[in-house]
Amino acid sequence: QKEVEQDPGPLSVPEGAIVSLNCTYSNSAFQYFMWYRQYSRKGPELLMYTYSSGNKEDGRFTAQVDKSSKYISLFIRDSQPSDSATYLCAMSANTGTASKLTFGTGTRLQVTL
Amino acid sequence: EAQVTQNPRYLITVTGKKLTVTCSQNMNHEYMSWYRQDPGLGLRQIYYSMNVEVTDKGDVPEGYKVSRKEKRNFPLILESPSPNQTSLYFCASGQGTYEQYFGPGTRLTVT
């Protein structure tokens, strides 16, 4: 079993829809949770990170962490065609420099006009 | 401009021929890391470095070597490449694991 599971998609939604992207994990030591966006032929770029449980909002993006269920989500409101990309969740046990980072396999999102 | 650079961007080589992929960052970051990205497997960490002369294994270190002699540089070395190392490689840097800046990627083909 992988430490981090993520539905690969593809997920296709119309412009303006609310998108929900999710990851589950098995390692209870994970405390830091990140979401990256990767456009085709580019390196991933950080969208958001959260510590422990709770919500964090940044513009149209909201990240949620439920440590009791080992489940994290990224919500995108008012989705735009420019949001079409692969979204990767990532997790680590601590944010210090002495820590591994584990990624999900990514969910491909397509926002259509 | 703050950035992570990798060279070469594309490389085709033959089995057993030693190669080095360079990575450099200009943000004075302590943490640097190498990943490989494969379809269906996602991004997997190969090695990471916490600071000069300090490195540790990620999830898939077999067949790779790294060194961190200067803070800004973190080269990835394949002493004897094999076809199963054909992949897309990314270098990244950051102050910690919580915020990684990725390079543009190196597409490696080993025949």
pLDDT digits (tens, 9 = 90+) for A57-93: 999 999 999 999 999 999 999 999 999 999 999 998 8
State the pLDDT at residue A51: 85
Does B40 sit within 8 Å of A8, measured CB to CB? Answer: yes
Give chain A's radius of gyration (CA, Å): 14
Percent of chain A surpassing pLDDT 90: 75
Hey, is B44 helix, strand or coil? strand
Does the pLDDT of residue B73 top 90, yes or no? yes
Interface test with A, best of B30, B59, B98, B102 (most A CBs within 10 A): B98
Alpha helices, DSSP H, located in chain B:
none
Does the pLDDT of residue B104 top 60, yes or no? yes
Q: What is the mean pLDDT of residues B85-99?
A: 91
State the pLDDT at residue B95: 84
Does A94 sit within 8 Å of B58, measured CB to CB? Answer: no
Which of B30, B41, B103 has the CB atom closest to A43's CB atom? Answer: B103
State the pLDDT at residue A95: 61
Q: Edge to edge, what strands does the sheet with A61-66 contain?
A: A4-6, A19-25, A71-76, A61-66, A54-58
Nearest CA in chain B to A87: B42
Which of A68, A94, A71 has its CA nearest to residue A6?
Answer: A71
Contacts of B100 in chain A (CB under 8 A): 34, 36, 44, 46, 101
CB A109 within 8 A of CB A19: yes
C-alpha span between B88 and B109 (Å, rounded): 9
State the pLDDT at residue A97: 56
pLDDT band of B98, cuts 50, 70, 90:
confident
Instruction: Count Cβ atoms within 10 A of the Cβ of residue B18 and give its class: 0-12 exposed, 13-18 middle, 19 or more buried.
Output: exposed
pLDDT band of A98, cuts 50, 70, 90:
low
C-alpha span between A52 and B16 (Å, rounded): 45
pLDDT band of B101, cuts 50, 70, 90:
very high
| pLDDT tens string A4-32 | 999 888 999 999 999 999 999 999 989 99
Does the pLDDT of residue B19 top 90, yes or no? yes
- Closest Cα of chain B to A66: distance in Å? 18
Q: What is the mean pLDDT of residues B57-61?
A: 93
C-alpha span between B4 and B73 (Å, rounded): 10
